[in-house]
Chain A
Amino acid sequence: MVKEIERAGIPVVHMCTVTPISMTVGANRIVPTIAIPHPLGNPALSKEDEYALRKKLVTRALEALSTEVEDQTIFEV
């Protein structure tokens, strides 16, 4: 799906836990996330800490979208 969005001309960042799969499907901007059932959260944390974690991840995704890339790039958090 990321590839089709990219093909349409819209920059897209893929946030996912299993980044090798993201590489296989051809995402160009990739941000690794926490875990499969809760990519952008961690139920073990307090509500405040979990929100801060999500904010950090989405901030990284926005950085990825505003960074020029020439090839598939993983933006480590």
Chain B
Amino acid sequence: MSYRVVHYINQFFANIGGEEMAHVAPELREGFVGPGLAFNQSWKGEAEIVATVVCGDSHFAEHEKEAQEQILAWVKELNPDLFIAGPAFNAGRYGYACATIANAVKEQLGIKVLTGMYEENPGADLKDKILIVPTANSAAGMRKAAPAMAKLALKLMKGEKLGASCEDNYMPNGIRVNFFEKERGSKRAVKMLLNKLADKPFVTEYPMPSFDRVAPNPAVKDLSKATIALCTSGGIVPKGNPDHIESSSASHYGEYSIAGVEALCEATHETAHGGYDPVYANADANRVLPVDVMREFEREGKIGKLHDLFYTTVGNGTAVASAKKFAAEYAQKLLQAGVNAVIMTST
């Protein structure tokens, strides 16, 4: 008898559709769907996907509680040996859904779980709670990701002892295991130092934690005298996207004037973002960048001034390093322009 597995995927991998179908509610299908085939093939009959849960990414993010309850009820009924989710690569909402639902299955049903995604995916924040296999940042990495996840999944189902994260290929989860090194510490340290001096690769035995947090700035004292700028990762651009900001993995940001503009409208602005259904933002871009309301507040004197320029990019699969670089650069421009506060909107 083979192990029984339930698989979680999104609307895209179930072939239902892209962003325009991201709102679909969870559904349960018998057997494997889409990437589940690759898992089944890797398991060669030792384990098999008995059912697949399909859920739209936006639906999960916007109705997390209801979606989670429904999915937990199904998984409880099916009582599989393992619950596997994804892989989600660098899809933010999908990764978040995979990690969140896997964690819920583990915590509430006591069933073994596994997911896979790119290290920068926000879902990877749960790596201390559930096992996450690191993958490439796009679905092109499926051929490598599926067998890697399948291998670890089988090990979990068989109840075999888990090796270190670098041996069994999961993201380090903060759990330390004692073992004896072949060489004593002083010898290893000297070797490491020599390698470092010679510019050769070396691996630290104690990586420093990286908590990149920035303390909040003091509040704005008097809004009626403040210049406030609007920024967005929702891809709002002048109609025609003059600077060709990419619909995903953006390589640059845009700086556009809204001086004298009372409100954005269908004729003048649209979104370049390829990671959400653009219908609503294209019809009325104030839904993402609230120029209309800010102008009213400016007239009323509630705020001093709406800054003449807005900064925008597409936050869809865009590398954290790129986003960091964009904002570090335009933050200096905002400072020089005397901007006192920023409203950043994200989709």
> In the complex, which residues 304-341 of chain B have their Cβ closer than 8 Å to any Cβ of chain A?
313, 315, 323-324, 326-328, 331-332, 334-335, 339-341
CB nearest neighbor in A for B99: A20
- Within 8 Å by CB of B280, from A6, A41, A54, A70, lies A41
State whether A10 and B339 are in contact (beta carbons under 8 Å apart), knowing that A21-B96, A29-B216, A51-B293 are contacts in the complex.
yes
Q: Is the CB of B276 within 8 A of A40?
A: no
Q: Is the CB of B297 within 8 A of A58?
A: yes
- A-contacting 9-mer, from B82-90, B192-200, B283-291: B283-291
The interface residues of chain A lying within 8 Å CB-to-CB of B219 are 11, 65-69
- Within 8 Å by CB of A37, from B280, B315, B343, lies B280
Measured CA separation A58–B92 after assembly (Å): 25
Measured CA separation A69–B220 after assembly (Å): 11
Q: Is the CB of B323 within 8 A of A36?
A: no
Residues of B in contact with A, size category: 35 or more
B81 at the interface (CB under 8 A from A): no
Interface string of B265-302 (1 = CB under 8 A from A): 00000000000111111011011111011101100001
The interface residues of chain B lying within 8 Å CB-to-CB of A29 are 216
> In the complex, which residues 194-234 of chain B have their Cβ closer than 8 Å to any Cβ of chain A?
212-221, 223, 228, 231, 233-234
Q: Is the CB of B287 within 8 A of A38?
A: yes
Q: Is the CB of B347 within 8 A of A39?
A: yes
The interface residues of chain B lying within 8 Å CB-to-CB of A10 are 217, 331, 334-335, 339-342
> In the complex, which residues 35-77 of chain A have their Cβ closer than 8 Å to any Cβ of chain B?
35-41, 43, 50-51, 54-55, 57-58, 61-62, 65-71
Q: Is the CB of A36 within 8 A of B93?
A: yes
Q: Is the CB of A40 within 8 A of B346?
A: no
The interface residues of chain B lying within 8 Å CB-to-CB of A39 are 234, 287-288, 345-347
State whether A16 and B345 are in contact (beta carbons under 8 Å apart), knowing that A24-B122, A28-B216 are contacts in the complex.
yes
State whether A40 and B287 are in contact (beta carbons under 8 Å apart), knowing that A5-B344, A11-B216, A12-B342 are contacts in the complex.
yes
**9 closest residue pairs by CB, A with B:** A41-B287, A8-B331, A1-B327, A4-B327, A28-B216, A16-B346, A38-B280, A11-B217, A12-B342
26 A-B interface contacts by CB (under 8 A): A1-B324, A1-B326, A5-B331, A6-B217, A10-B335, A10-B340, A11-B218, A12-B343, A16-B347, A21-B96, A21-B346, A25-B122, A26-B212, A36-B58, A37-B277, A38-B287, A39-B287, A39-B346, A39-B347, A40-B287, A40-B290, A58-B343, A62-B223, A65-B343, A66-B220, A66-B221
Query: Residues of A at under 8 Å CB distance from B?
Result: 1-18, 20-22, 24-29, 33, 35-41, 43, 50-51, 54-55, 57-58, 61-62, 65-71
Query: Residues of B at under 8 Å CB distance from A?
Result: 19, 22, 58, 61-62, 92-93, 96, 122, 125, 212-221, 223, 228, 231, 233-234, 276-281, 283-284, 286-290, 292-294, 296-297, 302-303, 313, 315, 323-324, 326-328, 331-332, 334-335, 339-347
